[in-house]
Structure 1
């Protein structure tokens, strides 16, 4: 009997997991609260943090799935382009007819060996459930004394509610936060006619432009080499190498007039943004320490400075919110304690038949790791690969619990899921693509080279994508690349002297 699967959410995660579930003969039914597919990319107020006119900060090649390239000349497509892409993807795999629009799921609970999905007073039973509702819907606003008294004419909102600079023209705006949403909003306001833009932050991050010397930064920052090095080299060396990429690309923030960040990039953090630091350098954006208090329109900062504002926008991140999960499921995952105890963000051994998509926090684009996570789920449930070992799963869950919520990088997530799905390409099988596989972009095509669902045309496509912006045009490592890779090979050989590395 064919297993039926409830997929909660029709954004990128829900669509890609449904495509791969179908490939394994499972039958997904997609529940979508909104009136159209696309998730965040619908740009609908209250359901999306994407504002009209916003462009991706991830490159076209890495903002696509392996079956359907994102065509066009734009390196960084608009939100409208991504929404159109998702509609084309859904049509390609005939997913539209499987989506139930306007259905709000009220509860997901266990029912013996199966699962029950409750909505509109109806209980439906499924063999399995995938939660793909996204983790960027519940904006977090840190407590600031007196914030509830703020009396600026434009009010205080979160970046999730921001819909462009027009309401802030000729107004004084405070943007709180130092991660990507805060810097994107601040740069948008500075270019969009705000009278004054002030960014308040607890610490100064390094800032990496999204495009440097004709190459998208996500092609340089999120490589397979970076994932292998992270496993083999000391953390201090990984920190040094990543900081080297960032500082060689953009310099350090204090060179633009921003505060000096911590020496360690891991301690300071890094944010991707093209226009923020230049706006600081020209005075379009001013930086202040974190607020101590708000009194009417006046904000007092940590340095004692006070200033009046017409509006405040908080770009201070999101909390994971899955209120429809039954209490026992929430307890197993430790959700109410602010954790998400899972095996590699996906399964829990005590919750058979339940899987999660896209619930981790990372820097870099989600499309590539989302597809790999979807393939892992589909291959496991479809019997293509062996299910995870329960003892190893419990070790992974315990490690997750011990570490708690933390941010990762796109390449680390992608390689984790690729290995779980059995689709990580081996270097020795692709001598002509060795440099591209190590130091080129982590394009979706490289995960169709071997393993389940390998494609004959994948090698040629990956070679084109690696060379698309001139970063990887041959197979000879540069001197720096050779030195870096030699250190990783030596460390891997010492750790596993009898096992040849991938």
Structure 2
């Protein structure tokens, strides 16, 4: 009898895992509380933090799955483009008939033989459940004395509620935060008619444009080499190399008139934003320390400066919220304690038949690691790859609990899932693609080179995608690439054992 799987969520994560579960012979039913598929990419008010005019900050090559390329040649697709892409993906794999739109899951509980899913139309038993609801639906609003009484005419909202610049025309706006949403919103407001835009944040991040020398920055920052370096080199050396790439590409924020970030890139963080620093340099955006208090429409900052604003937008992050999980499941995962205790964000040994998709926080795009996580889940449940042993799972859960919630990088997540799924390409098998596999983009095609579901055309496709924008045009390492790779080879030659990343 075919095993049934409830997939909760019809965004990119839910669609990807359903595609791969179908390939392994499972029968997925996709529950979606909204009226259509797409998740965040519907840009629907109240259900999405994507505003209609937003474009991705990740390139089209890394904002795609391995079975389907984007239409057209836009480097950074719009929200509308991504939604159309997901529609085509769902049609390609026959997923639309499996989506139950307008069906909100109220509870998921463990039973003796599987899982019980309660929803608006009743309850159903399933052999397995995949939670793919996303982790960017519950914005975190920091405590600021007096904020509840803010009287500016445009109000105080979070970036999740932001729908575009028109309500802020000719108004004075404060944007709080230094991650991508905050900086992109601030830039859009400054260029689309706001009278004044001020950004406030607790710490200055390094800021990298989406494009550097004609190449999307995610092609340079999120590489396989970066994973190997993270495993073989001292953290300080990895930090130095990443900071070198960023600062030599664009300089440091203080050169544009923004605050000086911490010397360590790991301590400061990095955000992709094409126009933010030039807007600061031109005076279109001012920067202030973190806000101290609010009185009416007046905001006082940490340096004592006070200023009146018509509106405030908080881009200050999200909390993981999975309210439909039963109390026993929540306790096992340590959700109410602020954790998410799992084996590589996916499984827990005490919750057989339950898996999670996309519940980690990272820098970089999610499409590539989501597909790899989906393949790991499908291959494990389908018997294509061996499930991790109970001991190994518990060790991974213990590490997750000890470290607590943390931000990772797209390449670390992608390669961790690729290894678990048995699809990480080995350098020695692809000498003609060696440079591309080390320093090229982690395009989804490189994870179809070998292992389960390898594709005959993957080498040609990956070579083409690595060469896009002139990033990897031959197999000869540049001087910098050679220097970096020598560091890793020296570490390995000196007996440093590579430890898989999480």
TM over 0.5: yes
Unaligned runs of 5+ in 2: none
**Partner residue of 1:469?**
469
**Partner residue of 1:342?**
342
- CA shift in 2, pair 1:498/1:108, >3 Å: closer
Q: What SS class does the counterpart of residue 441 from structure 2 fall into?
A: coil
C-alpha distance in 2, partners of 1:330/1:492?
41
**Partner residue of 1:38?**
38
C-alpha distance in 2, partners of 1:203/1:242?
19
**Partner residue of 2:222?**
222
- CA shift in 2, pair 1:304/1:472, >3 Å: same
C-alpha distance in 2, partners of 1:482/1:286?
40
Q: Does 2:12 correspond to 1:12?
A: yes
After superposition, residues 171-186 of structure 1 pair within 5 angstroms as: 171-186=171-186
Q: Which runs of 4+ in 1 moved over 2 A?
A: 492-499
Q: Does 2:110 correspond to 1:118?
A: no
C-alpha distance in 1, partners of 2:43/2:78?
11
Give 1:71 shift. 2.7
Q: Does 2:459 correspond to 1:459?
A: yes
Encode CA deviations 1:464-483: one digit per residue, 9 max, x unaligned.
00001101000011122112
C-alpha distance in 2, partners of 1:493/1:157?
54
Question: Is the deviation greater in 488-497 or in 137-146?
Answer: 488-497
- CA shift in 2, pair 1:451/1:496, >3 Å: farther
**Partner residue of 2:69?**
69
Q: Does 2:197 correspond to 1:197?
A: yes
- CA shift in 2, pair 1:253/1:418, >3 Å: same
Q: Does 2:363 correspond to 1:363?
A: yes
- CA shift in 2, pair 1:125/1:493, >3 Å: farther
C-alpha distance in 2, partners of 1:57/1:485?
28
Give 1:244 shift. 0.7
C-alpha distance in 2, partners of 1:422/1:489?
24
**Partner residue of 1:324?**
324
Q: What SS class does the counterpart of residue 471 from structure 2 fall into?
A: coil
C-alpha distance in 2, partners of 1:497/1:20?
33
**Partner residue of 1:139?**
139
Encode CA deviations 1:393-438: one digit per residue, 9 max, x unaligned.
1000000000000000000000000000000000000000000000
After superposition, residues 203-214 of structure 1 pair within 5 angstroms as: 203-214=203-214
Encode CA deviations 1:337-372: one digit per residue, 9 max, x unaligned.
111000000000000000000000000000000000
**Partner residue of 2:266?**
266
Give 1:269 shift. 0.8
- Residues 105 and 117, structure 2, Cα contact 8 Å, conserved in 1: yes
**Partner residue of 2:393?**
393
Q: Does 2:109 correspond to 1:109?
A: yes
Encode CA deviations 1:87-113: one digit per residue, 9 max, x unaligned.
000000000000001000000010113
Give 1:493 shift. 3.6
**Partner residue of 2:446?**
446
**Partner residue of 1:352?**
352
- CA shift in 2, pair 1:150/1:496, >3 Å: closer
C-alpha distance in 1, partners of 2:276/2:321?
30
Q: What SS class does the counterpart of residue 138 from structure 1 fall into?
A: coil
C-alpha distance in 2, partners of 1:245/1:276?
19
Encode CA deviations 1:273-311: one digit per residue, 9 max, x unaligned.
001000000001000111111000000000000000000
C-alpha distance in 2, partners of 1:250/1:486?
25
After superposition, residues 404-423 of structure 1 pair within 5 angstroms as: 404-423=404-423
C-alpha distance in 1, partners of 2:88/2:249?
35
C-alpha distance in 2, partners of 1:360/1:213?
31
C-alpha distance in 1, partners of 2:373/2:401?
20
TM-score relative to the length of structure 1: 0.98
Question: How many positions carry a matched residue from both structures?
Answer: 499
Give 1:316 shift. 0.1
Give 1:249 shift. 1.2
C-alpha distance in 1, partners of 2:455/2:31?
31
C-alpha distance in 2, partners of 1:15/1:290?
39
**Partner residue of 1:251?**
251
Q: RMSD across aligned C-alpha pairs, in angstroms?
A: 1.1
- Residues 232 and 496, structure 2, Cα contact 8 Å, conserved in 1: no
After superposition, residues 152-167 of structure 1 pair within 5 angstroms as: 152-167=152-167
After superposition, residues 297-312 of structure 1 pair within 5 angstroms as: 297-312=297-312
C-alpha distance in 2, partners of 1:154/1:18?
42
C-alpha distance in 2, partners of 1:327/1:309?
43
C-alpha distance in 2, partners of 1:154/1:368?
38
